[in-house]
């Protein structure tokens, strides 16, 4: 008797493509983040807390603008970041133990590691997420593409200020600046501006 697997399956109705469902999209964003906000040599980002908090500001331009308004080195300056839409969310995160988090980070990091684009070095404490040569080349190509310019501008806005802070300092800044949206939110709740 032949298998009839799938013969009674009805495909779901068509829905618009959501970039949040694309591992490639997240991988591209994270390559840009490491490339433009990481420390040399590498570049690398030290610690998952710092990694997640910088990614939070990359995903939420309205929160990045509010953070810039609070930092002495950027507040009121012409180079302070201004969001095109303060309610925009590139890809939502949830409130977790130490603030904003995406439960798929391991998946994204394994995806990039398997393609020889990054290394996750656990011999350092905290761990380091570092670009490999192929990852750096891919990030350079992405940074030149028009569709990634909003992300590039956000990463550039974090250089020398947020990107220079420790993960703990970033977490504390987020809790201080966004008590309703993040600090006082219940665990596993999606963060919304």
Residue 8 lies in a domain: no
Provide the domain limits for residue 57. Answer: 38-183
Which has more pLDDT, 6 or 29? 29
Q: What is the pLDDT of residues 165-183, one digit of tens each?
A: 999 999 999 999 999 999 9
Domain total in the chain: 1
Residue 156 lies in a domain: yes
Rounded Cα distance, 187 and 193, in Å: 16
Residue 78 lies in a domain: yes
Tokens of 182: 């993040």
Q: What is the pTM of this model?
A: 0.89
Residue 133 lies in a domain: yes
Residue 26 lies in a domain: no
Instruction: Please determine, for residue 190, whether its predicted confidence score (pLDDT) is greater than 80.
Output: yes
CB 150 within 8 A of CB 25: no
Helix (H) or strand (E) holding 149: helix 149-158
Tokens of 55: 């990614």
Residue 18 lies in a domain: no
Residue 122 lies in a domain: yes
Residue 69 lies in a domain: yes
Instruction: Please determine, for residue 33, whether its predicted confidence score (pLDDT) is greater than 80.
Output: yes
**Cα separations (Å) of 111 from 28, 115, 163?**
11, 7, 24
Rounded Cα distance, 173 and 45, in Å: 18
Q: What is the pLDDT of residues 55-105, one digit of tens each?
A: 999 999 999 999 999 998 887 787 789 999 999 998 999 999 889 999 999
CB 118 within 8 A of CB 112: yes
CB 84 within 8 A of CB 6: no
């Amino acid at each position: 008797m032949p298998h009839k697997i799938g013969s009674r399956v009805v495909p779901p109705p068509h829905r618009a493509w959501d970039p949040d469902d694309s591992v490639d999209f997240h991988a591209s964003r994270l390559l840009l983040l490491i490339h433009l906000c990481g420390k040399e040599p590498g570049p690398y980002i030290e610690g998952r807390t710092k990694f997640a908090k910088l990614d939070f500001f990359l995903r939420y331009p309205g929160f990045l603008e509010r953070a810039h308004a609070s930092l002495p080195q950027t507040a009121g300056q012409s180079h302070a970041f201004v969001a095109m839409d303060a309610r925009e969310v590139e890809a939502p995160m949830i409130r977790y133990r130490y603030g904003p988090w995406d439960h798929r980070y391991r998946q994204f990091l394994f995806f990039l590691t398997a393609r020889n684009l990054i290394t996750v070095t656990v011999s350092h404490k905290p761990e380091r997420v570092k670009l490999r040569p192929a990852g750096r080349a891919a990030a350079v190509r992405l940074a030149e593409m028009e569709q990634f310019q909003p992300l590039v501008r956000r990463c550039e806005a974090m250089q020398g200020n947020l990107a220079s802070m420790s993960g703990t300092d970033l977490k504390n800044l987020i809790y201080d600046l966004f008590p309703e949206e993040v600090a006082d939110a219940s665990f596993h709740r999606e963060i919304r501006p």
